[in-house]
Amino acid sequence: MIRDITLGQYYPGDSWVHRLDARTKIIATLLYLIELFVVNNFYGFLITAAVLFIVIAVSKVPLKFIFRGLTAVFLIIAFTFVLNLFMVDGRVLWHWKFLTITYEGLMRAFFMAVRLVLIIIGSSIMTLTTKPVELTDGLEKLLSPFSKIGLPSHEIALMMTIALRFIPTLMEETDKIIKAQQARGADFESGSLFQRAKNLIPILVPLFVSSFRIAQDLALAMEARCYHGGPGRTRMNEIRFDRSDAIAAVLMVLFLAVIIASRFI
Amino acid sequence: MSISVRNLNYIYNPGMPGETVALSDVSFDVADHTVLGIIGHTGSGKSTLLQHLNGLIKPTSGDVYVDGECITDGKTKMTEIRRKVGLVFQYPEYQLFEETVKKDVAFGPKNLGLNEEEQEARVRKAIGLVGLDYEEIKDLSPFELSGGMKRRVAIAGVIAMDPKILILDEPTAGLDPSAHRDILAMVRRIHEEMGIILIFVSHNMADIAELSDRVMVMSGGKVVLEGTPAEVFSQGDWLSEMGLGVPPAKEIVDLIKKREPEFISEALSTDEAARDIRHYLGESDG
């Protein structure tokens, strides 16, 4: 059950999108998110959606996998849709007691929902096609100019790498502890809210103990290999921009221009 | 009491990139009072199989019968199954969580809905069975104990449920030789005193040979061989091909047999091998 969470999951592959530099993908994703808010009409959304589907097709990540991420936030999307639907003034389309749907409200609700869906798919395409380690490496490189003004970019990236690296480990550990306590007759599915919260103690205490043990082992292992962060540190897989990143950059600029132009249709 | 497993199949992550067949068409029976040893590589499906036996995992297809009752039809109450089948995971000391040993061991009995006195009686008996002194240890924090003692307390936590079938997943993993011996002796004593079915996984062939009545070999999610220790370990070459091997004593006996055709021994344990070798030397020396 706990394995079903797909937060920041990576879908192994060797497509053009997979091979792009992580920095390119981070910038492209940021730009895409901004563009989604630049868009103000139907044509713009059509173009942004089409571009996204082209990227998905090129990345060869199965659609089923991408839409699975949406189910988790379905409630939020539905809530936003309903809220926008009834809250905007304008030309009345439908009226019943205190509920009113206007033409403007319908449009805004629709745009908001589409925007949310595209935001989620757009950002999950990045995490699905980029290994977590590459992602944090890219982020470190992108943040490194700010280290001059005291931003510990290497440390931030390292913390993120470790956090991402240990999500599956801790999930496995949690799964194991839950099962072990279930084998001792623990019941996590019934009882009042207070009782259920109390029932979590047999999971949380061992989980904390394990996390501390893992953290200590990791720190020792890093020290034993003479780890010291930041400046002068070399890496095994140096990331660099190449031709496809240049192509991607050109495509991004073109796309941005089209989106801005779409505002004036 | 008995366990029957019929055509058990289990697939992890069906329909996803990580799809793996963990168990394929596993069938076997365990009779009352038997000690069943399971050997196999990491990833051969041993742990997955064990978790099916007390309903922690629902099979993709196939059935498990405990004491003639099907536990995979979705009708059986899981608490009933867990009362009958006790499962001790690998490194069970990592599930300790209470302030005192007594409270931790009482966690299972408490979940069964027993009253205070019954709980205490169960805890006292369980701690005695794992070879610890109840009075001495009951108010200590489980986190203060040594590794071997922690593991005993964790095992006591399962024994306190008074199961009729006890399953141990690598009970001696990661222990030093003396703690290893102690745990092994403890397992044997528990089996004798409680008169239960014991199923255990181990990578130590000597332990398997010493404790088991029946041995089951798993590979790639299948049961590839099942029989008495003598039967299974007579397939020495085949076992080493699979990277599993035979008990060290058996290895030595087989080597001697090759050189000395008159030497007869079916020894699996060190003691038996020593006896047979002494006997052989005594005879040939006149």
The interface pTM score, or ipTM, of the predicted complex is: 0.86
* Domains of chain B, each with CATH number or no CATH: 3-235 (3.40.50.300), 247-286 (no CATH)
User: Closest Cα to residue A248, out of A156, A129, A164?
Assistant: A129
A180 interaction partners in chain B (CB closer than 8 Å): 89, 92, 95
Query: Which three-class secondary structure state does DSSP give residue B235?
Result: coil
Q: How confident is the model at residue B283 (pLDDT cuts 50, 70, 90)?
A: low
Residue A8 pLDDT exceeds 80: no
Interface contact B17-A177, CB threshold 8 A: no
Residue A101 counted as domain residue? yes
Long-range contacts of A220-224 (CB under 8 A, 24+ apart): none
CB-based contact, A183 to chain B, within 8 Å: yes
Tell me which H or E stretch contains B246: none
Identify the burial level of A181 via C-beta atoms within 10 angstroms of its C-beta, where 0-12 means exposed, 13-18 middle and 19 or more buried.
buried
Domain shared by A242 and A190, yes or no: no
Q: Which has more pLDDT, A105 or B199?
A: B199
Q: How many residues does chain A have?
A: 265
Total CB pairs under 8 A between chain A and B: 59
**Chain A interface, mutation test: which of B20, B95, B151, most A Cβ atoms within 10 Å?**
B95
Q: Write out the residues of chain B at the interface with chain A, using a CB-CB cutoff of 8 A.
A: 13, 17, 51, 54, 56, 78-79, 82-83, 86-89, 92, 94-97, 107-108, 111-112, 143, 157-158, 161
Domain shared by A47 and A63, yes or no: yes
Strand partners for B12: B20
Strand partners for B66: B3, B69
Domain shared by A159 and A211, yes or no: yes
Kind of pairing between the strands at B85-88 and A99-102: unpaired
CB-based contact, A13 to chain B, within 8 Å: no
Poorest-pLDDT segment among A3-12, B198-207, B240-249, B257-266: A3-12
Interface contact B82-A206, CB threshold 8 A: no
Predicted local confidence at residue A217, as pLDDT: 94
The residue type found at A36 is L
Interface contact B17-A186, CB threshold 8 A: no
Domain shared by A111 and A174, yes or no: no
Is the Cβ–Cβ distance between B159 and B130 less than 8 Å? yes
* Number of Cβ atoms within 10 Å of the Cβ of B132: 19
Is the Cβ–Cβ distance between B59 and B6 less than 8 Å? no
Query: Which three-class secondary structure state does DSSP give residue A251?
Result: helix
pLDDT in tens, B131-164: 999 999 999 999 999 888 999 999 999 999 999 9
Q: What is the DSSP letter of B67?
A: T
Predicted local confidence at residue B29, as pLDDT: 93
Q: Which has more pLDDT, B127 or A133?
A: B127
Q: What is the DSSP letter of B76?
A: S
Q: Structure pTM?
A: 0.76
Residue A33 pLDDT exceeds 60: yes
User: Closest Cα to residue B226, out of B85, B10, B26?
Assistant: B26
Residue A5 pLDDT exceeds 70: no
Is the Cβ–Cβ distance between A44 and A259 less than 8 Å? yes
CB-based contact, A176 to chain B, within 8 Å: yes
**Whole-angstrom distance, CA of residue B140 vs CA of residue B153:** 11
Residue A81 counted as domain residue? yes
**Whole-angstrom distance, CA of residue B1 vs CA of residue B52:** 17
Predicted local confidence at residue A1, as pLDDT: 40
Give the tokens for residue A166: 């240990």
pLDDT in tens, A40-74: 888 888 999 999 999 999 988 888 878 777 777 88
The half-sphere exposure of A168 on its side-chain side, counting CA atoms within 13 A, is: 7
Query: Which of A:185-204 have CB within 8 Å of B?
Result: 185-187, 201-202
Residue spans of beta strands (DSSP E) within chain A:
92-96, 99-102
Domain shared by A211 and A184, yes or no: yes
Q: How far is CA A77 from the centre of its chain?
A: 16
Give the tokens for residue A205: 């205490």
Identify the burial level of B237 via C-beta atoms within 10 angstroms of its C-beta, where 0-12 means exposed, 13-18 middle and 19 or more buried.
exposed
Domain shared by A227 and A117, yes or no: no
User: Closest Cα to residue B71, out of B82, B81, B61?
Assistant: B81
Query: Which three-class secondary structure state does DSSP give residue B244?
Result: coil
Residue A42 counted as domain residue? yes
Is the Cβ–Cβ distance between B60 and B10 less than 8 Å? yes
Predicted local confidence at residue A143, as pLDDT: 86
Q: How confident is the model at residue B110 (pLDDT cuts 50, 70, 90)?
A: very high
Residue B17 pLDDT exceeds 70: no
Cβ contacts of B124 within 8 Å, gap of 6 or more: B134
A179 interaction partners in chain B (CB closer than 8 Å): 51, 56, 89
**Whole-angstrom distance, CA of residue A234 vs CA of residue A105:** 55
Interface contact B56-A210, CB threshold 8 A: no
Tell me which H or E stretch contains A180: helix A153-183
Residue A92 pLDDT exceeds 80: no
Q: What is the DSSP string of A28-64?
A: HHHHHHHHHHH--SHHHHHHHHHHHHHHHHHHT--HH
Task: Give residue for tokens 């709980």.
Answer: B119
CB-based contact, A236 to chain B, within 8 Å: no
Interface contact A179-B13, CB threshold 8 A: no
Q: How far is A182 from chain B (nearest CA, A)?
A: 8
Domain shared by A80 and A105, yes or no: yes
A181 interaction partners in chain B (CB closer than 8 Å): 95, 107
Is the Cβ–Cβ distance between B249 and B273 less than 8 Å? yes
Kind of pairing between the strands at B3-12 and B214-219: unpaired
Give the sheet arrangement for strand B61-66, strand by strand.
B20-30, B3-12, B61-66, B69-70
Q: How far is A189 from chain B (nearest CA, A)?
A: 12
pLDDT in tens, B43-100: 899 999 999 998 888 899 999 999 888 888 878 888 888 889 999 999 999 989 999 9
**Whole-angstrom distance, CA of residue B136 vs CA of residue A21:** 62
> In the predicted model, what is the mean pLDDT of residues B193-216?
93
Q: Which of A180, A185, A202 sits opposite B161 (nearest CB)?
A: A185
Residue A137 counted as domain residue? no
Domain shared by A109 and A20, yes or no: yes
Residue A145 counted as domain residue? no
Domain shared by A1 and A81, yes or no: yes
Q: How far is B253 from chain A (nearest CA, A)?
A: 41
Q: What are the b/e assignments for B172-191, b being 16+ CB within 10 Å? A: beebeeebbebbbebbeebb
Domain shared by A197 and A242, yes or no: no
Domain shared by A120 and A185, yes or no: no
> In the predicted model, what is the mean pLDDT of residues B103-129?
93
CB-based contact, A11 to chain B, within 8 Å: yes
Predicted local confidence at residue A195, as pLDDT: 82
Q: How many residues does chain B have?
A: 286
pLDDT in tens, A149-180: 888 888 888 888 888 788 888 888 999 999 99
Residue A143 counted as domain residue? no
Q: How far is CA B265 from CA B205, B239, B247, B257, B272, in A?
A: 18, 20, 14, 8, 9
Ranges A178-192, A218-232, B45-59, most confident: B45-59
Interface contact B82-A3, CB threshold 8 A: no
Expressed as residue numbers, the domain containing A228 is 153-233
**Whole-angstrom distance, CA of residue B113 vs CA of residue B119:** 9
B157 interaction partners in chain A (CB closer than 8 Å): 184
Query: Which three-class secondary structure state does DSSP give residue A190?
Result: coil
Poorest-pLDDT segment among A94-98, A218-222, B49-53, B265-269: A94-98
Interface contact A176-B89, CB threshold 8 A: yes
Domain shared by A46 and A125, yes or no: yes
Interface contact A179-B51, CB threshold 8 A: yes
Radius of gyration of chain A (CA): 23
Is the Cβ–Cβ distance between A40 and A259 less than 8 Å? no
Q: What is the DSSP string of B98-145?
A: SSSHHHHHHHHHHHTT--HHHHHHHHHHHHHHTT--HHHHTTS-GGGS
Residue A2 pLDDT exceeds 50: no
Query: Which three-class secondary structure state does DSSP give residue B27?
Result: strand
Domain count, chain A: 2
Give the tokens for residue B25: 């068409």
Interface contact B56-A182, CB threshold 8 A: yes
